[in-house]
Chain A
Amino acid sequence: MLALDAARSAGAQYADVRISRNRVQSISTRERRVQGLSDNETFGFGVRTLVGGAWGFAASSDLTRDEVARVARQSAAQAKANRAALVKPVVLAPAPVTKDGTWRSPVKTDPFDVPIEDKVALLLAANEAALKVQGSRFVNSAMFFLREEKTYANSEGTFTVQTIYRASPTMTVTAVSQDFSDFQSRQSTDIAPMGRGYDHVLDAKLVENAPRWAEEAVQKLSAKPVDVGRYDLVLDPTHLGLTIHESIAHPTELDRVYGYEANYAGTSFVSPPEEKLGKFRYGPEIMNIQGDRMQDGSLGAVGWDDEGVQPETFLIIKNGIVNDYQTTREQANWLDWWYKQQGKPTRSHGCSYAQSWADVQFQRMPNVSLLPSEKNLKWDDLIAATDRGIAIVGDGSFSIDQQRYNAQFGGQLFYEIKGGKITGMLKDVAYQMRTPEFWNAMDMIGGKDSYWLWGAFGDAKGQPTQANAVSHGCPPTRHRGINVINTGRKA
């Protein structure tokens, strides 16, 4: 409150303050040893002010009364400096006031209450299980936990307190050929990071899964190099989540669409909104893409975003057509005409986020998910329906252009499909795609029983780059006639 008062006295029409305490614990191992064990805490606050339509932001780790007032004034002074080149003033869309909100991630066991010995023992047992597999040479495994206690207040009267958790257990097994001519790794991409507690680590069953990952790494050494060409692709949710992230979630960020990220993350082919909303066919009729910050255990789940807005669930793509974009309070007004046309209120979807107290909040993606089809198809049904194709499991190498047209994706495991059956393992596979063609080539979507939440910690955007954590839910899909290249070369 002191910060908000000081900001108002310094001329701010609007101000908000975030105070956060982030505790992070990470444990990393390789083979039979612990490589790193760290426990980190950072505590501080950031004040954002709006003066004459321009933003200012300042932050400090010193929470004394004098410093809080100084930082609030510094934020307002910066906003005044930033007004110098102002062309279009910032106007915030209205948001309901939450006077006293509390929210907590759905955590059964707080990871910081679990003894270190138990965590170390679990990782080393998993490593041992992987090393028992003939041919597996190296194993890296790790656990990462975050607990963020975040208090938010703004000058309109909103006040919220949230406790957000994230947990990520990971493992990579590497096999090296006898003559040192090849090495192949298998990452545990079927275990996604989640907005859950230690219960997620236990559910991941690292010890039980480790031998399979090791066997798959060894198998990759003798897999058949892929023949280049066009194939029908059957994509597992452990792979598809990343493709959704890059080719749907990023291009529907509204700040990119309006050029705000042109210098780094890029712009978007889904622009201008006047020509895309309600008109542009992204994919087939069966394709529905939802934005939300609600799904149980998802990384994007919160009670309120970083400008005090309760997020809502919204359809970004409806029956294959572009229907909405991801927004903050500043951006919702840019689509006022569309919401009026649809008979909807103009409000933020709740997509404001900052990675820490030291960083300014801006538009970040919520969970962006492909909804399952009504037919309850499963992975095996998609394989059985495919005559000549490649099934891809797990995400691997990925790259996409700055407007999100041209992408190239690898994976963890590749299987040849012939006559509706998996006939063997392939390697050196990557597919190249143009986003609208790739999604319009989708002709099968799995049902709700095969829906799975993929997740990532490292969603990067902004300058300075801030890391966002999001989940992308999806069932398996099939895409017809996609261009596959062979990435193997001789050194």
Chain B
Amino acid sequence: MKIYDHVQNLGARVGAIQVIAFVLLAVLGARLYYLQVVKGEYYSDRAENQRIRLIPIPAPRGAIFDRKGRILVDSRPIYNVVISNDGLKQAAGPDKVVDYSQGLSLEPQFVTERLSVLKKQNEFESLVLKENATIEDIAWVEAHSLEFPELRVELQPQRHYPLGTTLAHVLGYVGEISPKQLESDAYKDKGFRPGDIIGKGGLEQYYDEFLRGRPGYKKVIVDSRGRVQSELETVPPQSGQDLVTTIDLDLQMTAEDQLAKSSTKRGVVIAMDPNNGEILAMASAPSFDPNIFVKGASTPEGRKQIAEYWKDETRPLLNRAIQGRYPPGSTWKIPESVGALQEGAITVAHSNMLCGGGITIGNKLTRCMGNHGSPPLDTAITRSCDGYYYRLGLKMGIEGIIKMVETFGFDKRSGIDLPNEKVPQTPKTWMKYVIKHEGKWSDIRTVYASIGQDTVVVTPISMLRAVSSVGMRGKEYIPHFLKEFKPIAAVGEEGDPNYIPARPGFTFQHPEPTIIELQPAQWDLVLKGMWGVVNAGGTAGSIRIPGFDIAGKTGTAQVAEVGKDTGKNKDHSWFVSFAPAYKPEMSVIALIENSGFGAANAAPAVKAMYESYLSRRDGGQPATQEVAAR
């Protein structure tokens, strides 16, 4: 053809273009081979990862019941605004904080905090941004689903404490796991994630692993903006196990009532079954409302209230029953009497000691409340003769007192199933310190230690436990709240990857009681003295209940020196008891802070507890079985 002249080499040039075109297409083919054949699986996984999300379904915690099946704690469904963290990287900005806080009426400060927690989560997880969403909040989220696809509204269970301040210290409360806890060894390896709800304080904390359920999840497909397109599968959650406690709500109400009526409204009442250690009531006043911790942690008002609880000088968050340490005063004389008999400082036949109206150590007279002559042990208990115990203490020696401390376990925790129990302090604790600073353990310290002052401070639970063991003639049980955990059925089929096995029910495993060795006649002597306190003209004769013999001991614990013991520094009033005296069914301890004489303040509270118990013991209406109804 004439256009193909040799100068231009046209045929070759067209050929060159053809070759280049084919080479380019071959390059595309090679790249395709690499992406689709070599790395196909990798990209398939990446595509799956970006379209599949796991949305956790929180499991309801187990409810808590009293011994008769009445609800103490349950969970109720609420609407929460939840934020997922996948859209967040591009959205890192203060503008979102403003949007969220205005749209959901939240404090900007709070939103900023939540977003920073969210950033610590793994990718594609979510966190509650606003609890208890109102209709307006829900409407706002729905209306802005295009703008803020990371927000969604979820129905989630929230812990509810219908009794409010009643039993608050025992029950505790729940809350989001703190960043500190997340890093601590106790939680680290158990798969906790930011935003998880755990028990904080009380039974909620102690039995958290049983009360807590196993969360389920929804596997969903989302689009590029995180909006859910369809659900692939749903793995239902497994609820936590229901806890039946040993608490008797009627007795608990009486206990709370007695504290509320007391002069200072500060104190402790505990009732226990001395035959096995079951706690029937435990009240500590002042108290707090656990609902504030659950619902208020995300609102400014709630946070303010929580801060006030922490600042309050009366320490409402303290469970005085297991964390309060008070000088036991004359209640100390009961374990001391047992110790003296055990060690042979006195015998049943020769238990008399001089009262002398007091004792002079060096040139200082330490007085007794009266002059009791030279009484035997039972009279000394009944009349609460300090002079007797000054001399008994000196005869036992501080080593003898320390031995008694060990016998009754005052140097250890009681073992109660609550967290953060305090250990009493006794001469055993202080011995080293005193000798280091004073050169020796002086007699005056022994004298004070023998009437439960100075180096002795005990928790109410430890004193109740010790005195209950006297009522049981030497059998000391571990106090506890756990009666039973109900079983929970398995979720899913066995062999299924999402199978959650059943959780069996169980009851409190009663260990053998600690045995305190004493001759029957020796027990009789101590018990006679305690019986006399209420029934034979003793220090608490005013609380006698005909036909139901209370054995007890008053205590008036000095807070300040004699003469300054008024107003804020008034003595703590104790009464510790069991009844019936020779076949105890219940033991009760009461402590009213800074109220004065034990007989006048604590003892009536104890009487009220026994009356409450008696009113239901025979022929009382059994409470409805709410456990069965669930």
Q: Is chain B a partner of chain A in the same complex?
A: no
Interface of B toward A, CB cutoff 8 Å: none
